[in-house]
A and B are shown apart, each in its own frame.
Chain A
């Protein structure tokens, strides 16, 4: 299981999407949610520390989701940070790339709170089992 009080970062350039994802996370029970509008901003926030989990969109200006993922995995401090990638249905092929880059799981837009929870549960089951 995981601590619902952990700090979660929602990364998306479209503020409506951030709000939707934040709402879904709140439904699941998360209370400590921060947001970023692109990968660069997200990375800076993550570097400040304290985050336990990231939900990131793929298509973003400046640094996209994959770029963020790679940067996090290359970072000694952050490399274990669980990341859930949000993709559109047409981008399944990209999922492979994300898998290669070490994403923990992915979820296809649009998704429900239940599906999101399922994905998060899975991620942390694995993280807990592995660690």
Chain B
């Protein structure tokens, strides 16, 4: 029973959080649309429901806060109060408080929030608003307000206790007792929701809530199955070649190829279980923009598209902070003050767009603003001043690479980071978080036109397509996503420009690195004496990370393989350039390379080392 209780509590926390997430954007909508019964009722209902369930579970502070704000919402919904900013503000405050209370439940930290001041505030706000409204002359004072009419009914009807139920029939039959007919009663109590309201998309219909840990377990097992499948494929290939007329070998091959298909389907199905609409993360943004635009005094239009795009749960968990940070930055630093915009002939109202879409195996999140754009020269200058790069490096930088300066740890363009976008963390957090998700960030900016941040994140994190390569007799797996193409070039094709090897691919110059150098392994010493290293031909992998392109030279291309990432604890990916490890079809452990960290080291600005 205690387990059951724990599960119920967890379910409550999740569901209540979802409710709050869902209603938060409604407040902003409410401010834009004015009084909207549907919206008001929606918010009321959520508060009401949270209160009800919390009551069962004995979470009194939640009950208190939800109850007080529900009281206000009820009056708003019933049209007894007019929605006003002060009222909305205190209700939003209670949403925040409910969140905090839920967090404490989740963390089991036993921290008690003092909700009394907020409850008092809510009560005060209600009574203030009520008296304000009461002073308004009311034309239809004759019309009895719903509450009063019901009170009258109470006078006639005995208190609706158990007993009242028993006597319902007789009372109902004698309508002479002064009880309005049902229809009449309904008329004077216009509380009910409209029956013919447009049917909403049913959310959560036919859903089963499953603990994430259970799904992860299935995911893990699916991963193991993938590994076994890969091994079986290898074995079956071997048998097919070895005994190519043997019936059993053929049957084995057939069976394994069936297993192959089923495994792929299963993998996909499990992956889908972990996917959620990114809306979950975005729902807090309208409010964030509302609060921010008020405090920096800029009028901002936030346009979101593609919020139904589904991404892995881990992405949902880690993308919130980077997105928030970029959004704050766009509003705080990106958009000009209204006067400046008008002076430039731009619309007075700034515009920030968030577009999310799926592109191949990736989810792309774009954050666009129509602000002033970044001043590249200024960025370089600041970076030099702060000792993040040398003047020479700054000089060599193209405009594209210069925008990456903002991601360098310890960089912030404003002398004093404002309270809003500052928060003691820089844009480097954005890059770090996105890299954690095996993704990358691109920035493009144009003066007076605006800045676009583009976050590209793989759909799933656990299973990836890789290219197996070999250097010095050791195999490595390189994630397929950033690989643009593979080439075989002859030594003559490699040029050297100021100490950097480059090759020209279709008229574009591309820097070339040896994988052995990148990984710090001796290229000739410990090779198994293939001696191919110095041959005339080289295998080249062309990597494209955002707008950067570079080539990695390897000894041999082994082939494409789907691998399951097993994270290696205690490994610093940015130094070792290793993302994790996997077990390949032939049962060997192979390192998976972290291309984004390689790219940062090679192409990114050398961080003063």
Contacts and interface: CB of A to CB of B under 8 A. Distances in A.
Given A14-B49, A64-B192, A19 B11 contact: yes
Contacts of A66: 192
A15 B204 contact: yes
Nearest to A88: B52
A74 to B, nearest CB: 12
Contacts of A122: 162, 165
A109 B150 contact: no
A96 interface: yes
B165 A106 contact: yes
A96 B154 contact: yes
Contact of A67 (B15, B16, B191, B195): B195
A88 B54 CA distance: 12
A20 B147 CA distance: 31
A60 to B, nearest CB: 8
Contacts of A19: 8, 11
A17 interface: yes
B79 interface: no
Interface string B184-219: 011001011101010110101101010000000000
A61 B12 contact: no
Nearest to B12: A16
B56 A20 contact: yes
Contact of B205 (A37, A57, A100, A126): A37
A59 B202 contact: no
Contacts, number: 110
A63 B52 contact: no
A41 interface: yes
Nearest to B4: A23
Contacts of A64: 192-193
A109 B52 contact: yes
A55 to B, nearest CB: 13
B152 to A, nearest CB: 10
A94 B191 contact: yes
Interface string A52-75: 000001011111101100000000
How many chain A residues sit at the interface, stated as a range, is: 35 or more
Interface in B150-206: 150-151, 153-154, 157, 160, 162, 164-166, 168, 172, 179, 182, 185-186, 189, 191-193, 195, 197, 199-200, 202, 204-205
B475 interface: no
Nearest to B46: A14
A101 B57 CA distance: 31
Nearest to B199: A62
Interface residues of B, number: 53
Contacts of A104: 165
B45 A17 contact: no
Contacts of B48: 59, 88
B26 interface: no
A88 B66 CA distance: 12
A63 B15 CA distance: 20
A94 B11 CA distance: 29
A96 B182 CA distance: 9
A94 to B, nearest CB: 7
B195 A101 contact: no
A57 B55 CA distance: 14
Contact of A93 (B16, B147, B164): B147
B51 A88 contact: yes
Residue picked from B15, B53, B164, most chain A C-beta under 10 Å: B53
B186 A97 contact: yes
A40 B200 CA distance: 12
B200 A96 contact: no
B199 A105 contact: no
Residue picked from A38, A60, A97, most chain B C-beta under 10 Å: A97
Interface in B219-248: none
Contacts of B150: 93, 96
Residue picked from A16, A23, A60, A126, most chain B C-beta under 10 Å: A16
A58 to B, nearest CB: 9
B517 to A, nearest CB: 56
B49 A101 contact: no
A23 B8 contact: yes
Interface string A1-42: 000000000000111110110010000000000000110110
Nearest to B63: A110
Interface of B: 4, 8, 11-12, 15-16, 19, 42, 44-45, 48-53, 55-57, 70-71, 74, 146-147, 150-151, 153-154, 157, 160, 162, 164-166, 168, 172, 179, 182, 185-186, 189, 191-193, 195, 197, 199-200, 202, 204-205, 207, 209
**Closest 3 A/B residue pairs (Cβ):** A93-B150, A110-B55, A16-B12
Given A16-B12, A88-B51, 8 more contacts: A62-B200, A62-B202, A90-B71, A96-B153, A97-B185, A99-B172, A101-B182, A126-B166
